[in-house]
Amino acid sequence: MKIHKRAACLSLLVLLCWSISLHGQAEEDKDIQASCRSFVQGFYDWYARMAVETTSKVIPLDRALEIKGNDFSVELVRQLKELSEVQTKDHEVWLGFDPFLDTQDPAETYAVGDIEQRGHSYWVGVYEVRSGKKSEKPIVVPEVILKGGNWVFVNFHYPNHTLSSKNEDLLSVLKRIRETWRKQSINSGH
């Protein structure tokens, strides 16, 4: 009988520890999502205001890389700077839309919606708000990761992208532009 009581006590103890562990994990997940939400919303509050107020002499993308370059992965910064350099050399090479807003006409504000963890990254639905009305679907889905205790953007996904196929993302768009430009450069002898 003593063995059964010990086994029962041990089982209850294991169950209690497991329950506490799950509760702690749920609280940690909430904290991570709150931190992620704050990071992305803060960027969009700043960027939307800057994009709307920008003159034609300042490109919002370049300004974002200049002021908030640490908010982006090294690879994303490298590819965006490469695009910017190519655009200064060849005015026919251009993105055609704001890569962080997936539009040529920024809304007044943007609101963070659902956050979904996918592996080590978090995909954050961002909705545009025009005349006080939030879009039905996210207009862009930034992909962020925690790196060294700080959030960084690693990609931007476009669930409603009108300029190409559905479910496009910034890195694949940049790759396509780079490949097209290189082919044109080779064909033109530059």
Q: Dump pLDDT digits (tens) for 61-91.
A: 888 999 999 999 999 999 988 887 776 665 5
Long-range contacts from 182-186, C-beta under 8 angstroms, 24+ separation = 184/90
Where would I find the H helices in the chain? Answer: 2-53, 60-68, 74-89, 170-188
The whole-number average pLDDT for the span 179-186 is: 71
Q: Which residues contact 159 (CB under 8 A, 6 or more apart)?
A: 137, 138, 139, 140, 141, 166, 167
Backbone angles phi, psi at 100, to 5 degrees: -95, -15
Cα–Cα distance measured from residue 143 to residue 166, given in angstroms and rounded to the nearest whole number = 17
Alpha-carbon span 41 to 19, nearest angstrom = 33
- Quote the CA–CA distance of 95 and 115 in Å, as a whole number: 27
The overall average pLDDT reported for the chain is 81
pLDDT band at 23 (very low <50, low <70, confident <90, very high): very low
Which residues, including other chains, have CB under 8 Å from residue 95's CB and lie 6 or more apart?
A: 61, 83, 87, 173, 177
Lowest mean pLDDT among 100-104, 119-123, 161-165: 161-165
Residue 53 has a pLDDT of 79
Q: Is 182's pLDDT higher than 80?
A: no
Q: Walk me through the domains of the chain, giving residue ranges and CATH numbers.
A: 40-188 (3.10.450.50)
> Residue 15 half-sphere exposure, CB side, CA atoms within 13 Å?
6
Q: Is the pLDDT of residue 126 over 50?
A: yes
